[in-house]
Structures are given as structure tokens and as C-alpha cells.
Structure 1
């Protein structure tokens, strides 16, 4: 096992472990809420779908790359290669679209009652769940066409071009227009990222205007971070800025990857590592910026500490009793 492979394996293992823990915490919390008969808020449905999409991104990218880091390469067959690439692209696109939906819902929620978004405030909560399922269906269908352009290396001919992903190989005809394919399939991503950038600026504008209107009723003892309007917006702003940053870097490297005649293995691993950064970070942004989720996180953490304390006290009790008896 080479040192770069070992380093990438450690990075993927750490990233996947931390990200899966955070996303599964959110999914478990909302599942438990539904099981005990409580209803979720509209924004919590978005959080749940985002956590599910992020978990799929982490698993579909982390597991194959961890196996490659152990020295096992090209272990996926024709069907497995298609399936993993299909899951990676679909879950990544759904994660982006759900984040975009979250930013749009936040704009509608925080917009003043006299704005043009006011009419949507009543209807928006009813459209959250159908919109989330529409995102899944749309990208499941659009990425399904990607399978038709993929071939396994065992069917290699003189009229094909091959990209090695480490865990499998993708083959396309030599006449296949890579640039056109990348442009067509990146249009939804570019639209979502553009909307997220615009919504971030608009949210900052709404936040500043609302803060100027209500600052006279806030106590001087409260810091700016404690204002409700700031807590309502900071999570989405952090999510959008994080995604746009990683998406820009990943897109530039992806374009370079498709232009290379023989891509290096480290570039493939770097692309997967960057693509999984947002799914690993986003659940903790939601946990520590959303007061409701943070409350359950604190309860879980304090309960764990109490259990450890009780276990320590119980283990010390027999020795104390024996010393007293003596």
C-alpha cells in the first residue's frame, strides 16, 4: 500500500464517519418525531431530505475510494460501475437542488408581508414535500441517461475513450462530445448555484433591513448573534457559501479531468473528496444553527455524560463499601 493511498483512505474514512454520524442523527431525530405522533415543520422535511441525499453521497463516494486505498482496484463489474456512478450523480444533484429549495423557502418565510413573496407564504409549506419528491424524480430520470454513455473496459475497442476511476472504468465512444455532455448535464447545477448566490444576497438584504427595523426593541444585553432573525438565516447562508465554494473548486477540477488524456488517480480521489465535503459538513451546520435540533443534541450529549458519570460512581461504590467495612 502506497503512502498517498493510505492518506486518502484515512481522509475518506474520517470524512464518511463524521458525515454519516451527523446525517443519521438528523434522520433519526425526525424519524423518532414522526413515530411518537408529532408533525414535522416544513423546513424539517427539507432537512430530512437533505440529510438523506448527503448520506448517499458519502456512502457512494467514500466506500469505493476506501476500498481502492487498500490496494483493491477495478473491483466493480459492468453493472456495479454504472450503479455507483448513477448513485453518485443523482444524490449529488438532489443535495444541490434541496439546498436550493431550502434557500427559496427561507426567502419566502422571511420576506415582509407587503412584498411580492407574501402570497406564497400560505402555499409554500404545503408544497415542500411534493417539491422534495419532485427533485428526486427529476434527477433520477435525468441521470438515467448517463448510463447509456457508459461502457466497461472489458468491451474496449480502438474507437473508445476510457477514464479510470480507480474502482472501475468508464468507456465512451471516441466520437462522444465530452464538452457538450458536460454543459448539458451541468445546466441544472449552474441554475441552482446561481439562484443560491442571488438568494444569499437577498437574504442578507432582508436580514439587514429587518434588523434595522426591530433593533430598538431588542435589549442591549443581547448580542447580535442572539437575534431571532439572524439565527433564522445564518444556517442557510453558511450552507450556501460552503456549497458554492466546494462546487466551484470541484467543477474546475472536473473540467480539467475530462480534458486530460490519462487522468491521474490522485485527481479522481481528490474530486470525490471535494464532492463529499459539503455532505459531511452540512448536518453539523444544521445542528448548531437550528435551535430545535440543537436542543435535542444537547439533551443527547448531557444524557451520555450522565450515564458515564453514573457508571463511574457505580464502579467506585463496592470499593468504598469494602473500605468502610474494614
Structure 2
């Protein structure tokens, strides 16, 4: 076991451990809220599924990459490789769709009652559950029923290939027919692009709504209005920060993954950096949300006192 493999293995092990613990703690927090209140607000419901998606990503990318870097390649067969890649695709798809749902529903929620969305504003919370179900159904069904048409699903884990391709411990894709690439683009890439566009639109709309809302309440000094306005603004700003963080890591990860896919013999460091960046958001997301929860709690204590 070389020094670089040991170093990469320790980095992935640390990242995966921190990410799994963070997501488990956050999931436990939301489950406790549900157990106490018997219901979850739509933001908490979406964040719960985002946490599950993040956990899938860490388990399907961080954990196998750690084992491969530490020289435990005999554990991986064609079946286990495809299983990990399947979970990876589902987790990645649910991560972007959950973040998109969070931004879109928050945009509808903070929209003025006199806007064109006034009817949807009232009905939107009822559609959160079915929207999440459809997203899970889409990514689970597509990646399960059409594995031959998904690029990563036709990869094979081979110790010989790993050694010849820079000992990176990654599943290398084989030559794909044009029809497979087109189907992959339609079923996987197009929804991700659509979700990204929706997030950008929702972010821009929320910024515009916040700006107008701030101008309207500048001269209002009633405490109740001030508290409500402040709470809405904080919640929206927090979601904007979460989306910005996700889009930054997602874009950077996509660039590296595309580079790995189109390079015949990707280097050891390129492949590992690509995986490291892919697992960054699922790792930091729960701690980011915990900080926001702590800030909200401190804010409420300050207002009450």
C-alpha cells in the first residue's frame, strides 16, 4: 500500500465518517420533531429526504472509494460495483431534486397573496409529499429498469483495470453506443438540467421578492409584523445559501466527472478529486443546517427575552 493510497484512504475515511454522523444526527432531529408533533413542515419534510439522499451518496461513493484506496479491492465484484453506482445515481438525483423542490416551494410560500400564485400558495404544501414521491419513483425506476442505458450502470469493477488505469479504485466506463448515450441524456441529464434551471429561477425570484418586501416594511414598526418579516427573510436567505452551496459543489463535481468520463486514462488524482468533490456537499450539508437551526434557536431566545 503506497503512501498516496494511504493518504487518500484516510481523507475519504474521515470525510465519510463525518458525513454519515452528521446526516444521521440531522435525520434523528427531524424524526424527533415528527414523533413529537406528528407532522413535519414542508421544509423539514424535504430536508429529511435530502438527508437520506446525502447519506446514499456518501455510502455509495465515499465508502467504496475508501476501501479501494486502502487496497480492499477484492471486495468489489461486478454486482457490488453496479449496486454502488446505482445508489450513487439515485442519491445524486434525489439530492438535486430535493434542493430544487425546497427552493420552488419556498418561492411560492413567500410570494405575495395578491400575486398570480395566490391559489397555488395555499395548495402548495399539499403537493410536497407527492412531489417527493414522484422524484424517488423516477430515479429509482429509471436506474433500476434501464441499467443498460445508463453510462455508469454498464461499468465494471476490475482489479486489472484499476492497476492499468492508475490504480484509482474507480469503475471505468466502457464504450457506449449512441442510442445509449442519448437515452442516458434524456432520462438523467435533462431532468438534472431542468432542476438546475428551476433553482436558478427560484433563487432570482426569491431575491426579488425579498427586496420588494424589505422596501414595503421599512416604515412599519409593529413588533408582530417585524418578527414575521424577519423570520420569513431568515428562512429564505438560509435556503438561498443552501442552494448556492449545492450549485457550486454540483457544478464543480459535474466538470470533474465529465473530465473523467471523456479521458481514456484518467489520472489517479483526477479521479479521486472528482469523488472528493462529489461527496463534499453531502458531508457539509448537515452541519450547515445544524448551524442554521442553532442560529434560529438563539434568535428566538433573544426575542423572547
Q: Fold conserved (TM > 0.5)?
A: yes
Query: What is the distance in 2 between the residues matched to 1:26 and 1:153?
Result: 33
Task: Give the superposition deviation at 1:85.
Answer: 0.2
Task: Give the superposition deviation at 1:163.
Answer: 8.0
Change in CA separation of 1:61 and 1:165 when aligned onto 2, cut-off 3 Å: farther
Residue 215 of structure 1 pairs with residue 255 of structure 2: no
Task: Give the superposition deviation at 1:191.
Answer: 0.9
Greater Cα radius of gyration, structure 1 or 2: 1
Residue 102 of structure 1 pairs with residue 105 of structure 2: no
Residue 23 of structure 1 pairs with residue 23 of structure 2: yes
Computed over aligned residues only, the root mean square deviation of the Cα atoms, in angstroms, reads 3.1
Deviates more, 1:211-220 or 1:246-255: 211-220
Say whether the 8 Å CA contact 1:5–1:70 is kept in structure 2. Answer: yes
Task: Give the superposition deviation at 1:9.
Answer: 2.1
Aligned to 1:71, the other structure's residue is in SS state: coil
Aligned residue for 1:227? 230
Query: What is the distance in 2 between the residues matched to 1:182 and 1:127?
Result: 28
Task: Give the superposition deviation at 1:106.
Answer: 0.4
Please list, as runs of the form range in 1=range in 2, the aligned pairs for 1:1-326 lying within 5 A after superposition: 1-36=1-36, 38-73=38-73, 75-145=75-145, 147-148=147-148, 150=154, 152=156, 166-167=168-169, 169-170=171-172, 172-173=174-175, 175=177, 180=182, 183-184=185-186, 185-218=188-221, 227-290=230-293, 295=297
Say whether the 8 Å CA contact 1:94–1:139 is kept in structure 2. Answer: yes
Task: Give the superposition deviation at 1:80.
Answer: 0.6
Task: Give the superposition deviation at 1:15.
Answer: 2.0
Change in CA separation of 1:88 and 1:217 when aligned onto 2, cut-off 3 Å: same
Aligned residue for 1:311? none
Aligned to 1:217, the other structure's residue is in SS state: coil
Task: Give the superposition deviation at 1:294.
Answer: 5.4
Task: Give the superposition deviation at 1:250.
Answer: 1.4
Unaligned runs of 5+ in 1: 157-161, 300-326
TM-score, scaled to structure 2: 0.83
Query: What is the distance in 2 between the residues matched to 1:47 and 1:144?
Result: 24
Task: Give the superposition deviation at 1:50.
Answer: 0.8
Instruction: Name the one with the larger helix percent.
Output: 2
Aligned residue for 1:324? none
Change in CA separation of 1:216 and 1:7 when aligned onto 2, cut-off 3 Å: farther
Say whether the 8 Å CA contact 1:97–1:135 is kept in structure 2. Answer: yes
Task: Give the superposition deviation at 1:146.
Answer: 5.4
Aligned to 1:262, the other structure's residue is in SS state: coil
Task: Give the superposition deviation at 1:212.
Answer: 1.0
Say whether the 8 Å CA contact 2:168–2:267 is kept in structure 1. Answer: no
TM-score, scaled to structure 1: 0.78
- CA distances 1:253-306 after superposition (whole Å, capped 9, x unpaired): 222211111122322221111111111122223222246x9549x99xxxxxxx
Unaligned runs of 5+ in 2: none
Say whether the 8 Å CA contact 1:211–1:229 is kept in structure 2. Answer: no
- CA distances 1:51-110 after superposition (whole Å, capped 9, x unpaired): 111111111111111112212235311111110000001111101000000001100110
Query: What is the distance in 1 between the residues matched to 2:94 and 2:201?
Result: 19
The size of the alignment, in residue pairs, is: 288
Query: What is the distance in 2 between the residues matched to 1:40 and 1:117?
Result: 23
Task: Give the superposition deviation at 1:176.
Answer: 5.4
Query: What is the distance in 1 between the residues matched to 2:23 and 2:296?
Result: 14
